[in-house]
Amino acid sequence: MKALKALVIFLGVLIVAGVGLVIYGIASKVGPKPAPTASTAAAVPTPPNAAAPLPAAPFGSVDIALPDGATIQQVFAAGDRVIVRVGGGKGTADRLIVLDPARGEVAGSFRFVASPVGEPVR
């Protein structure tokens, strides 16, 4: 009888410990992730030809010329760039203006023009 009583107590302790481990496991998955340590950051090699990121310095005010009657249709982020879709003004086609907010300048633009009939679009 003593052996059965000891077995029941032992199994009860195991059940309580198991429930505690399950709760700890769930809490550790839900909680905030720890910041990477220096050893973790050092494990990722940097390619030798990778450019160093530019510091984000204030750049003041930047003027971007739009054609007469053109309107901004949409603005969205694409990686570290901002894309502005501009609707055509008088006699102009729609275009995309690519902005580099870190440098405060226009990185480039795309203008959409109609292709002649029968010519394939690339």
Residue 100: predicted pLDDT: 87
Q: What share of the chain is helix, strand, coil (3-state, %, to 5)?
A: 30, 25, 50
Tens of pLDDT, residue by residue over 78-97, are: 888 899 988 876 666 788 88
The total number of residues written for the chain in this structure: 122
d(CA 61, CA 50): 29
Tens of pLDDT, residue by residue over 19-30, are: 999 999 888 888
Please give the residue that has the higher pLDDT: either 5 or 66.
5
pLDDT-based confidence at residue 35 (cuts at 50, 70, 90): low
pTM for the whole structure: 0.45
**Structure letter (DSSP) for residue 114:** P
